[in-house]
Amino acid sequence: MKSDLIQGESSGPKMLPTHVAIIMDGNGRWAKKRLMNRIKGHEQGSTTVRSIVTASREIGIKILTLYAFSTENWARPESEVKALMELLKKFIVAEREELKKNNIRLNIIGQKHRLPPDVRQEIDTTLELTAHNEEMILNLALSYGSREELTRAMQKIAAKIASKDLGPDEITESLISSHLYTSTMPDPDLIIRTSGEYRLSNFLLWQAAYSEIYITDTLWPDFTRDEFIEILKNFQTRERRFGKVSCNTLNGG
C-alpha cells in the first residue's frame, strides 16, 4: 500500500500504534451543514467506518476501537436512538463476511445487554463467526461509558472481597485493568477524535492514561483514509515519555 508509514510490531517510538481508538464525532453537524436530517449523517458515518476498518487492516493496526454509542447517547431522541440501532444492525450483518474474509475479530465493549434483542442476536452471530480471526480486532464500543465500566469493575472486585476471595491489598492497577471490558487488550496508543471537540466524553478514561491524543476538525463522515495515514505519521513523530525523561537526554542529547 502506498504510504511511507514505518511498520513495526510494537508500539514503541516510530512504530505503528498497536491500538488505535477513535471517537467518531460530527455526524449530526455534517448533516446539518447540508440541511439534512441527523440520521443522514449517521448513514454517511457508517461508510467512513467501513473505509477506516479496511484501511486499518491493510496498514497493520492490530486493534481498532471505535466509540459508536455512549451510555449518555441513550438520552438522545428516541427516533435517533432507533435509527442508530438499525444502522448498527445493518453494519454488523453487511460486514460479517468481509470481517471473516479479512481475518478480523469483532469484539464489543460496553453494556451489550442494553442493546435491542435483534441487534444483540446479529452481534452474537458475528462474534461467533469471527471468534478465531487473528489479523485485527475490531473493538466496537456500544452503550459504553468509562464511568459505568469502572463502577461495574468496582462492584465485581467488592463482591470478591466480600466473599473473602480477595484481600484489599490485592487490589492493584493490573487487577483493576483485568476487570474492565478491555481486560484482554493493551491500552490505546493513540486516541483520535473527529469534529474538533477537546474532550474524552467518558471514553476509556482509565486506559487513556498515557495515550497520545489527536484531535482533527474533520467531521467523521468526511474523515478519509489519507487523513488517517497522516495522523499515524504524526503519531510516529511523537516521543512518548510515560513520565520518564527523554531518551535523547539519556543519550546526552
Q: Report, as residue numbers or ranges, the catalytic residues.
A: 25, 73
Q: Which does residue 27 touch among Mg ion, ligand IPE, none (CB within 5 to 8 A, set by kind)?
A: ligand IPE
- For ligand IPE, the closer of residues 16 and 24 by Cβ is 24
Which of 11/139 has CB closer to ligand IPE? 139
In the complex, minimum distance from the CB of residue 24 to ligand IPE, in angstroms, rounded to a whole number: 5
Distance in Å, CB of 136 to Mg ion, minimum: 26
| Of the candidate residues 17, 19, 20, 25, the single one contacting Mg ion (CB under 5 A) | 25
CB nearer ligand IPE, residue 135 or residue 217: 217
Q: How far is the CB of 158 from ligand IPE (least distance, A)?
A: 28
* 187 part of the interface to Mg ion, by CB under 5 A: no
DSSP H or E segment with residue 175: helix 173-177
Dist. CA 147–CA 139, nearest whole Å: 18
Judged by CB under 5 A, does residue 149 bind Mg ion? no
Name the residues that contact ligand IPE, by CB under 6 A: 23-29, 67-70, 72-73, 84, 195, 197, 199, 201
Q: Toward ligand IPE, which CB reaches closer, 139 or 195?
A: 195
Q: For 80, which DSSP code?
A: H
Question: Does 38 sit near Mg ion (CB under 5 A)?
Answer: no
Judged by CB under 5 A, does residue 42 bind Mg ion? no
Q: Give the number of residues in contact with Mg ion, rule: CB under 5 A.
A: 1
Selection from Mg ion, ligand IPE, none that 180 binds (CB < 5 to 8 A by kind) is none
DSSP 204: S
Give the list of residues 6+ apart from residue 70 with CB closer than 8 angstroms, or none. Answer: 141, 143, 144, 145, 201, 202, 203
Q: Alpha-carbon distance 30 to 35, whole Å?
A: 9
What's the Rg (C-alpha) of the chain?
Answer: 19
Helix (H) or strand (E) holding 87: helix 78-94
Task: Say if residues 214 and 237 touch (Cβ distance below 8 Å).
Answer: no
| Three-state secondary-structure class, residue 245 | coil
Rounded Cα distance between 80 and 169, Å, is 45
Q: Name which of 69 and 91 has its Cβ closer to ligand IPE.
A: 69
Query: Dihedral angle at the C-alpha atoms of 181, 23, 86, 56, nearest 10 degrees?
Result: -80
CA angle 96–102–106, rounded 5-degree value: 50
Give least dist CB 84 to Mg ion, A.
12
Q: How far is the CB of 119 from ligand IPE (least distance, A)?
A: 14
Contact between 122 and Mg ion per CB under 5 A: no
Instruction: Provide the binding-site residues for Mg ion, judged by CB under 5 A.
Output: 25
